[in-house]
Structure 1
Amino acid sequence: MRIAVFLAALLSVFLQEAPAADGKSKLPPFNKADVPPAPDYAQAASWLDKPDDPDRFGVDIFWVYPTVLYDTSAWLMNIERKDLIEGAAMSVASEAHAFSGQANLYAPLYRQMNLAGFNLPEAERDAIVAYGEEDVRRAFAYYLENHNNGRPVILAAHSQGSYVLTQLLVHHWGKIGVEDRVIAGYVVGWSLTEQDLKDNPAIEICDLPHQTGCFVSYNSVAPGKQSLSPLIQPGAIVVNPLTWTRDTALAPASLNLGSTFFNEDGSSETLPGFASAQIADGGLAVVAKDPKRLESRFFAKGVYHSFDYPLFFENISANVAQRTQAFLTGGK
């Protein structure tokens, strides 16, 4: 599968796979008897990616991939399906590539929820997502015990990966025992909310570019299109990836080190100064030099979900280096 094909699939997250005419999912009702076997993280087959040389870098990244299950086959991803594994792997080659050359990447496979689950009532949705959350929790615990070797770690995800990671943070952060080893978390393409912080005050949101032990969250939209984004939840807290603060002033495009777009042949194009960004109404309002480049047939016009990483690709890469340096030198 080429990168462009994967990105087209990624564009469909939360919107494609429309419900049937009666508003119900095309999938049969969720049945626990149909839940696929849980991954065994002692087995290589349960990992999407692990480094060939785990000592290459003194820092690790733990990556949780976005939605790749959006057909009508099942409510939960079977981690043995090669087509889904291939789709998940392309997120490493595109979005997670922003972290390349700086950290050893670990990415577990997990039983993610079908895209159609986002049409369910919240209680039903969370009951299905809980399988993926538990998988990621177990994968992280296995990674810490068997692979981490005391190295600092970056947490990163997009879309459903960020949703799962958010659930894990709300339920477990502050109790894992390695929080002081985490450089930062990039929980992009979902909302960390005021309610999340009330539910777990141990979660800290970033407000400085060199701050460590904190989390970044944002959802990209055109100005005024916040209400059209299904990713922006009530009380969403936003960090601007051009300033790495929560300042609501406009961050001009001159601060954008480069938006990176991936081509069909696997090559990429980086455009400095492509877009500005401003925190507004729970979203990250983006004005791009060529907004047509951000359009798709899967999202409402002005919802730039699939470009959350590409729009600020070089700034993310630079910020990883900045936070890592601050962490290693004892900054906060």
Structure 2
Amino acid sequence: MLRHFIIALMLAAVMAAGLAVTAAGMAQTQNQTTPAASAPTPAKNDYSKSESWLCRPGRQDACAVDLTTTIVAANGKLTRETWAANPKAPIDCFYVYPTVSNDATPNSDMVAGPEELNVIRAQFARFGSQCRVYAPLYRQVTLTALRAFLAGRIMAIDLALGYNDVLNAWNYYLEHDNQGRGVVLIGHSQGSLVLTQLIKNEIDGKPLQSRIISALLLGTSLPVPRGKDVGGAFQHLPLCHSAKQTGCVITYASFRSNAPPPANSRFGKVPGENMVSGCTNPAALAGGSGELHAYLGSRGSGVVSTEMVQKSWVTPSQPIDTPFVSIPGLLTAEC
């Protein structure tokens, strides 16, 4: 997870720098005798097209993957857990993926690469057993742009492009697919930043809020007033404290228990004397410690790279041929 914290931090810095570069560029243009030609406005995506979506219900797409899992017990016993999507799921899930694109451009294209496909498999496809799955492609700020920023080069990123893509996909979903159903919003890293803005602009305190079962805004720092659940990023969507609660937000940025966020951290902390970063533990919404029911890639790969070699999960080594493993008792979490 540390890698994604760094990526999100870089993204926040790039956004600030990108705005500064835009302002400087405008000032320079004003001083020129002949104004430079403005860049063409990117075409609006058409989310009625099948190829604009990574996942939609009833398709053989990025969410239609093998999620079979080997359960590794503490005594080394291995058991196999199968998985299947529920075509009659009563609710929907709408997912915006994190910063994964390795495209050479500052904003990604609309062609799914291995990175987008892998993050769907790792983070989102499993929700298909509980909800109908919707995951739009969007022209996100790329890892290429973030790496350039680290090297002192600012690429001409378009901050509004990815947000407007997701907004258009959301509006298409509402008009053509939702039909009044409850929906869970799910985002991570850049996806959480986009969804936070979408909720602020389109949902918080508006009639549409009644359809929101929950929002999972992960790998981000969501500000709330100290001791309260609303009044920071959102005025009407509180933090979740019960599995029976709806219309609420689950959010966290995870750290190892022996490496808490330092004083100058951009995660787990937010600006403002009376503001704190919201934290809800999905394993113990009411508070305290809880055991995580985690699904881990059996090859040790993350959401961007798939080039890891098979690891041994037990001693003595036993072959594991499933794409995922789950190890009861291995991981716990607490806010």
Per the normalisation by structure 2, the TM-score is 0.64
Decide which of 237, 250, 274 is 1:203's aligned counterpart.
237
Which is worse superposed, 31-40 or 265-274? Answer: 31-40
Change in CA separation of 1:55 and 1:268 when aligned onto 2, cut-off 3 Å: closer
Call closer, same or farther: CA 1:48–1:15 in 2, change over 3 Å. Answer: same
Instruction: Give the 3-state SS of the residue equivalent to 1:269 in structure 2.
Output: strand
Superposition map of 1:160-309 within 5 A:
160-174=190-204, 177-194=207-224, 197-198=231-232, 200-223=234-257, 224-227=259-262, 230-234=266-270, 235-245=276-286, 247=287, 249=288, 251=289, 255-256=290-291, 258-264=293-299, 267-279=323-335
Unaligned runs of 5+ in 1: 1-6, 280-332
Equivalent of 1:68, from 95, 100, 125?
100
Q: Quick one: which amino acid aligns to residue 91 of structure 1?
A: V
Q: Distance in 2 between matches of 1:239 and 1:171?
A: 23
1:257, CA displacement in angstroms?
5.0
Q: 2:100 corresponds to which letter in structure 1?
A: V
Larger radius of gyration: 2
Q: Percent identity?
A: 29
Following the alignment from structure 2 to structure 1, what is the Cα–Cα distance between the partners of residues 95 and 38? 27
More helix by share: 1
Deviation by residue 1:52-101 (Cα, 9 ceiling, x = unmatched): 17963221111111112246x22211113x42xx3212222111134131
Which residue of 1 is the match for residue 164 of structure 2? Answer: 134
- Measured in 2, the distance between the counterparts of 1:238 and 1:257 equals 15
**What residue identity is the alignment partner of 2:118?**
M
- Structure 2: tracts of 5 or more residues without a match: 26-36, 60-85, 271-275, 300-309, 311-321
Question: Residue 167 of structure 2 contacts residue 198 of structure 2 at CA under 8 Å; is this kept in 1?
Answer: yes
Deviation (angstroms), 1:114: 2.3
* Matched residue type, 1:232: G
Q: Deviations over 1:120-155 (max 9, x none)?
A: 9xxx99x84332222212211110110112221111
Matched residue of 2:215: which SS? Answer: strand
Cα distance, 1:210–1:76 mapped onto 2, change above 3 Å? same
Q: Which one of 106, 118, 121 corresponds to residue 93 of structure 1?
A: 121
Q: Contact 1:205–1:215 at 8 Å: present in 2 too?
A: yes
Partner of 1:77: 108
What is the rounded CA distance, in whole Å, between the counterparts of 2:136 and 2:123 in structure 1?
16
The alignment's TM-score, normalised by the length of structure 1, stands at 0.65
CA distance in 2, matches of 1:269, 1:207: 29
Q: Distance in 1 between matches of 2:332 and 2:179?
A: 40
Cα–Cα, structure 1 residues 217 and 144, in superposed 2: closer, same or farther, change >3 Å?
same
Q: Distance in 1 between matches of 2:185 and 2:162?
A: 16
Give aligned pairs, total. 252
Amino acid at match of 1:152: G
Q: Which residue of 1 aligns with 2:302?
A: none
How far apart are the structure 1 equivalents of 2:4 and 2:56? 22
In 1, the alpha carbon distance for the partners of 2:204 and 2:9 equals 34
Q: CA deviation at 1:11?
A: 8.6
Q: Which moved more, 1:159-168 or 1:127-136?
A: 127-136
Instruction: Determine the C-alpha separation between the residues in 1 that align with 2:233 and 2:89.
Output: 35
Query: Which deviates further from its counterpart, 51-60 or 235-244?
Result: 51-60
1:46 equivalenced with 2:46 (yes/no):
no
Question: Are 1:103 and 2:131 matched, yes or no?
Answer: yes
Deviations 1:237-264 (A, max 9, x none): 100122113x3x4x1xxx4153221123
Q: 1:241 to 1:137 in 2, by over 3 A?
A: same
CA contact 2:221–2:278 (8 Å) conserved in 1: yes
Deviation at 1:269, TM superposition (A): 0.7
Which of 134, 141, 150 lines up with 1:113 in the alignment? 141
CA contact (8 A) 1:36 1:76 kept: no
RMSD: 3.6
C-alpha deviation, 1:110, in angstroms: 1.0
- Check whether the contact 1:65–1:161 (CA below 8 A) recurs between aligned residues: yes
- Residue 36 of structure 1, CA deviation: 4.5
Contact 1:209 1:243 in 2 (8 A): no
| Stretch of structure 1 that moved more, 139-148 or 167-176 | 167-176
Cα distance in 2 for partners of 1:76, 1:232 equals: 27
Distance 1:202 1:117 in 2: 33
**Preserved contact between residue 36 and residue 78 of structure 1 (Cα < 8 Å):** no
Q: CA deviation at 1:221?
A: 0.3
